[in-house]
Amino acid sequence: MRKNCYIIICLCLPIFYSCNKNGENISKPLHVYIAGYVHEYAGQKQFARYWKDGVAVNLTDGSKPAMASSIVVSGNDVYVAGWELESTGSGDTAVAKYWKNGNAVSLTDGSKIAYATSIAVSGSDVYVAGYEWVIPFTIAAAKYWKNEIIVNLTDGTKDSRAESITVSGNDVYVAGWERNGSGRTVAKYWKNGIAVNLSDGSRDACATSVAVSGNDVYVAGFQYSTSVTAKYWKNGNPVDITDGTKTAFAYSLVLSENDIYTAGSEWARTFNFVEVARYWKNGIAVSLTDSSRSSAVTSIAVSGNDVYTTGWQYHPVTSGPTSPVVMYWKNKDAVNLSDSTGVLNTCQAFSIFLAEQ
């Protein structure tokens, strides 16, 4: 997912105002951070990258495949979680890591394949969710790291993933899934390492994103039946976002005031592999693209009345191969962060974060 990413547009960002001690207005611009990766086929390089207000920042040199999966800003510090392939004694292995202001911090030693999927910062503490393969590409163990100290969420006897992490007060919440004895994926979240099942295991289900408001825990995800239904759970109670007539996925969830925003994609028709990028506000769908080419939203953020989403969309080419490119949308206005000429290169965005600085 895919494409050579260069900046082709200048972004006009909203201005927020506060007052100094003399009552004078001080402007505080809202900055848009997006994390993902770029694969350049011509040079066979893959960069972990983030964009700040459309300006690309490479986290790796491209000599080894790497990916940025999640981004958060705390004060003036930018934290990005992901992975990078590194050479070890047994060959090249994916190492879970995060970058603080571009400086890499390895979370694993390369003895096992590992990926970091989500990052959160609380005060001086850095939390990173992810998973590490116990048996390569067969069984992985869900876990998170607090300040580089590992916390195992599962024992590694059954395949599992940790997909999203958030911190509320002294509590750490992680969303993901684990296979049961029948091989079905069970959507769940862990609160301080204690698992809460969201699905009963009769059908495959996955949890992809977690958010907390007071005593309420919201988890987005999807569940399989005759098709795939996008949904979220509030305190363990399921709420269907789509009716199941068309395949749909929810990848991200955010809370704003009394509103619940989920984001993902839905097939254009019942049996159709064209995905339409969508988000849902309190269950009401907002389409960001049409069905002329596939697209999806991977992450969502809200500021006031404005909804920001990021994800991917295929190139509008009429013939020949094509690949997804990095997009973000402010409300329904699209911003392409990719160079539209190199359709054989690929880009993807996985995370968006808004910061007033």
List the chain domain ranges: 122-356
Architecture of domain 122-356: 6 Propeller (2.120)
One-letter-per-residue 3-state SS of the chain = CCCCCCCCCCCCCCEEEEECCCCCEEEEEEEEEEEEEEEECCCCEEEEEEEECCEEEECCCCCCCEEEEEEEEECCEEEEEEEEEEEECCEEEEEEEEEECCEEEECCCCCCCEEEEEEEEECCEEEEEEEEEEECCCEEEEEEEECCEEEECCCCCCCEEEEEEEEECCEEEEEEEEECCCCCEEEEEEECCEEEECCCCCCCEEEEEEEEECCEEEEEEEEECCCEEEEEEECCEEEECCCCCCCEEEEEEEEECCEEEEEEEEECCCCCCCEEEEEEECCEEEECCCCCCCEEEEEEEEECCEEEEEEEEECCCCCCCCCEEEEEEECCEEEECCCCCCCCCEEEEEEEEEEEC
**Burial class for 197, CB neighbours closer than 10 Å (0-12, 13-18, 19+):** middle
- Which pLDDT tens digits describe the chain residue by residue (357 residues)? 333 332 222 333 333 333 444 445 455 799 999 999 998 877 789 999 999 999 999 999 999 999 999 999 999 999 999 999 998 766 799 999 999 999 999 999 999 999 999 999 999 999 999 999 999 999 999 999 999 999 999 999 999 999 999 999 999 999 999 999 999 999 999 999 999 999 999 999 999 999 999 999 999 999 998 889 999 999 999 999 999 999 999 999 999 999 999 999 999 876 667 899 999 999 999 999 998 888 999 999 999 999 999 999 886 654 445 677 889 999 999 998 875 544 557 889 999 999 998
